[in-house]
Chain A
Amino acid sequence: MSMEPQVPPLFQVEGLRVAFGRDGQLYEAVRGISLHVDPGEVLGIVGESGSGKSVGMLAALGLQPEGARVSGSVRFKGQELVGMPRSQLRKLRGARIAMIFQDPLSSLNPVMTVGDQIIEAVRLHHPDMSRKAAMGRALDLLALVAIPQPDRRVKQYPHEFSGGMRQRVMIAMAMANDPDLLIADEPTTALDVTVQAQIMEVLADLQDRLKLGLILITHDLGVLAGHADRVAVVYAGQVVEQAGVDDLFARPGHPYTRGLIASIPNMAAESERLFSIDGTPPVLGKLPTGCAFHPRCRHAREICRSLAPQAQTAGAGHSAACHFAFATPEAAP
C-alpha cells in the first residue's frame, strides 16, 4: 500500500482553485482542493458530476477550458506545474503524466488508425524514433493491454473496436512513454457493466506491474472499494473527506461520504429501495452559506448554515471537513 512517509509525494495538489468568468462574474468550480499521490499509489477521487473533480485534475495539467483561471499549487516530482510554460508542460503530458477519459469512442480520433494514434503518442516524446520502431512499440502496447491480434488491430480505425477494446487502446496509448502517473477520468462509466470489471482489471494489473501512480476519478464509490489505496471525497469543489480506503468505509466522517456509501447497491441489504442523498449538488455560483453540504444534510444545525467547517482529523491520514465529523460514530447518513 502506501510508502514510507519520507518519500516525497509523486503528485501534490495544494489549494487548487479553478474559476470561470462569465458575464463579468467569477464562478469557482474548484475551491481549494488539496491532495497528494505517492509513487505507486492509487488515489480515488469520488464525487457527483459537476463537483469539480475532473475540471480540477485537468486544470492541474494545464488542460482547463479556455478562459478559466487556475491558482494554487500543483507539484509533480517537485516541479511546479501551475504557471509552467506551455511548451514545458507539454513535455510532461503524455510522457510522465498520462490521462484516459470517460468515453473511449469520442476520445479517439475517428479518422486516424489506432496504430497511428499510438505511434503519435510515442513519437511526440521520442522525435528521433523511426516510424517502424514506434510501430513495434505500438504492437507491444496493444499486447500489454491484452488486445488480441495486435498486428491486425493496429491498422483499424476506432469504430471497428468495441467499447471495452477502445478503452484498452486508450490505456495502451497512455502507457506509450511509461508514465509515472496515470489520471483515469471515469474510465469505466461509459462501458457495459461486464466490461467495466475487465477494464478495472487491466488498470489494476498495469498499476501493480509498472508501479504506476494512479488517480482514479469516479462518481461510484463502489469502484474504489477494491482498487484504491486512499480516497478523496469531493463536494462542491472541495475535498470534504480524505482517508485510507478501509478507514473510509469503516469510519466515514462526513455525512456526504456516509450518503455515498449508503447509495452503493448492496445485494445483502434487506431494504429494497436504494438509498439516495436528498436534493441536488449546488449550482455553480449559487453556493450555500456556511457548509456547502448543509441544505442536503440531515444533521445540519445552526452553525452549519453560517460557518464553513475546518477539516477535523481522526487518526493518521483521515480528515473530514464537517463540524460534527466523527462526533456521532453510529450516525446514519
Chain B
Amino acid sequence: MTRYILRRLLAMPFLVLGVVTLAFLLTSVTKGDPLTAIVSDRQMNNPEVVAAAKAKWGLDRSLPERYIIYVGNLLQGDMGTSFITRRPVAQDVMYRLPATMELVIAAMIIGSLMGVSLGVLAAYFRNTVIDHAARVFALFGSSIPVFWMGLALLYLFSVHWGVLPGPGRIDARATLPPTVTGFLTIDTLLAGDVPLFFNALWHLILPAFVLGWAVAGTISRLVRANMLEILSREFIMTARAKGAGELRVVTRHALRNTMVPTLTVIGYSFAYLLTGAVLTETIFSWPGMGSYAVDAARGLDFPAIIGVTIVGGVIFLVTNLLTDIAYVVANPRVRLG
C-alpha cells in the first residue's frame, strides 16, 4: 500500500512535465498571434515597437528555447506574466484557485450526496414512482446545460423569490476576512464572523447546487445499477437472515459494496466539475479559475492559458491518485504492492 502510493508519487513529476509540455505545445500551434494581445492595433505597423515587445516577452526566441526557459522558470514557481493583468500568472492563480476549489468541492459534496441517495432510493424502490421520480430528477441535472440551469435558478431564487443572494462570492459591500485558506466559508469562520460566514454560504449554495446537480445524474445512475446488482447478492439474504433491518441491509451491507465503483466515478467527476466550473463561474460572476481561463482564452493571454492548463492538469492528476487510493482502502480485495 505505502509502496504503491510512493510509486505513484514518484511518477507524478513526469506526468506533470507531460502536462506542461502538452500545454506549451498546444498553445504554440494555435493560429492566434499573441502580439495582438500585447501591442495595440495602431502600433502593429511600427517595427520598433513590435520588435521591442517580442524581445520583452521572449517571442523572438525559438520554440525549444522558450520551452526550456519556461520549464526553468516554472521550477522556481514562476509561470510568467499575464499579458492582460500584467501580474504574475502564479499570483493570479493563487488568488483565483481557492474560489474555484471552494465551489467545486461544495458541488462535489452536494452532487455525491444527491447522486448516492437518489441512486439508492431508485434501486431499493425500483420500478415504483420513487424510482421514476429520482431518475427524471437526475436526468434533468445531467442533461440541462449548467449555464441555462444557472440562469434559470438565479432568476427564480434570487430575482423572483429573493430567498438567495445574487451572483458573486459574498456581499459586495462586505469587508473581506483576512485570507488564510482563500475559502471564504472557512476564512470567515476563522475570523469569527458568523454572519459573514452565512453570507458566503448562501452565495455558495446556488452555483454549487447547479454544478452538483449536473454530476448527481451520472452518480445516481451508476449507484442505482450497482445497488440493483448488489441487492440481489446472497450476502444481502444473509444479512436479512441474521435479523438485520432493511435500513441496515441497505446502508451497512449494500451501500458499502457499491462505494467501490462509486468512489471512482465521484473522483473522476472532479474533472467534469472543473470544466463545468468555467461556465458556472461566468454565470455567477465567481472570481475563480474558470472565469480567468475564459478571459485568458479570449485575450490570447498565452502565459495565463498555459498556467491554467497546468494547474487544471495537476489537480486532475492529484484527484486521480486520491481516487485510486480511496479505491484500495474501500476494497479489501485489491492488494497493491
- Indicate whether A124 reaches chain B with its CB closer than 8 angstroms: yes
- Indicate whether B240 reaches chain A with its CB closer than 8 angstroms: yes
Task: Give the residue name and chain of the A residue nearest to B241 (CB).
Answer: A99
Known interface pairs A111-B260, A111-B330, A111-B331; A101-B238 also in contact (CB < 8 Å): yes
B256 touches A157 (CB 8 A): no
Question: Scoring B residues 231 to 251 as 1 if CB is less than 8 Å from chain A, else 0, what string do you get?
Answer: 001110111111111000000
Known interface pairs A94-B243, A124-B242; A107-B256 also in contact (CB < 8 Å): no
B242 touches A112 (CB 8 A): no
- Indicate whether B332 reaches chain A with its CB closer than 8 angstroms: yes
The interface centre, meaning the residue of B233, B243, B260, B330 with most chain A CB atoms within 10 A of its CB, is: B243
From residue 244 to 279 of chain B, which have CB atoms closer than 8 A to chain A? 244-245, 252-253, 256-257, 259-260
Q: How large is the interface on B (under 10, 10 to 19, 20 to 34, 35 or more residues)?
A: 20 to 34
B125 to chain A, nearest CB (A): 11
- Indicate whether B173 reaches chain A with its CB closer than 8 angstroms: no
A110 touches B241 (CB 8 A): no
Chain A residues, Cβ within 8 Å of B240: 63, 93
- Indicate whether B42 reaches chain A with its CB closer than 8 angstroms: no
- Indicate whether A120 reaches chain B with its CB closer than 8 angstroms: yes
Chain B residues, Cβ within 8 Å of A153: none
B242 touches A173 (CB 8 A): yes
Known interface pairs A63-B240, A94-B243, A111-B260; A106-B233 also in contact (CB < 8 Å): yes
Compute how far the CA of A90 lies from the CA of B333 in the bound complex, rounded to whole angstroms. Answer: 31
A112 touches B256 (CB 8 A): yes
Compute how far the CA of A111 lies from the CA of B331 in the bound complex, rounded to whole angstroms. Answer: 6
B241 touches A98 (CB 8 A): yes
Compute how far the CA of A108 lies from the CA of B241 in the bound complex, rounded to whole angstroms. Answer: 12
B332 touches A93 (CB 8 A): no
Task: Give the residue name and chain of the B residue nearest to A176 (CB).
Answer: B242
Q: How large is the interface on A (under 10, 10 to 19, 20 to 34, 35 or more residues)?
A: 20 to 34
**Residue in A101, A120, A157, A176 whose beta carbon sits within 8 Å of that of B244 in the complex:** A120
- Indicate whether A91 reaches chain B with its CB closer than 8 angstroms: yes
Compute how far the CA of A98 lies from the CA of B239 in the bound complex, rounded to whole angstroms. Answer: 11
**Residue in B241, B256, B260, B333 whose beta carbon sits within 8 Å of that of A93 in the complex:** B241
Known interface pairs A110-B333, A111-B330, A112-B256; A101-B234 also in contact (CB < 8 Å): yes
The interface centre, meaning the residue of A61, A95, A99, A125 with most chain B CB atoms within 10 A of its CB, is: A99
Known interface pairs A103-B234, A157-B333; A111-B256 also in contact (CB < 8 Å): yes
Compute how far the CA of A121 lies from the CA of B259 in the bound complex, rounded to whole angstroms. Answer: 22
Compute how far the CA of A63 lies from the CA of B253 in the bound complex, rounded to whole angstroms. Answer: 17
Chain B residues, Cβ within 8 Å of A98: 241
Compute how far the CA of A102 lies from the CA of B260 in the bound complex, rounded to whole angstroms. Answer: 26
A107 touches B237 (CB 8 A): yes
Task: Give the residue name and chain of the A residue nearest to B259 (CB).
Answer: A111
A110 touches B234 (CB 8 A): no
Compute how far the CA of A306 lies from the CA of B79 in the bound complex, rounded to whole angstroms. Answer: 91
17 A-B interface contacts by CB (under 8 A): A63-B237, A90-B244, A94-B241, A99-B241, A101-B241, A102-B234, A106-B234, A108-B235, A108-B238, A109-B238, A110-B333, A111-B256, A111-B257, A111-B330, A112-B256, A124-B242, A124-B243
Further contacts, 8 of them, CB under 8 A, given A101-B238, A107-B237, A112-B256:
A93-B240, A107-B238, A109-B253, A109-B256, A109-B257, A111-B330, A111-B331, A159-B332
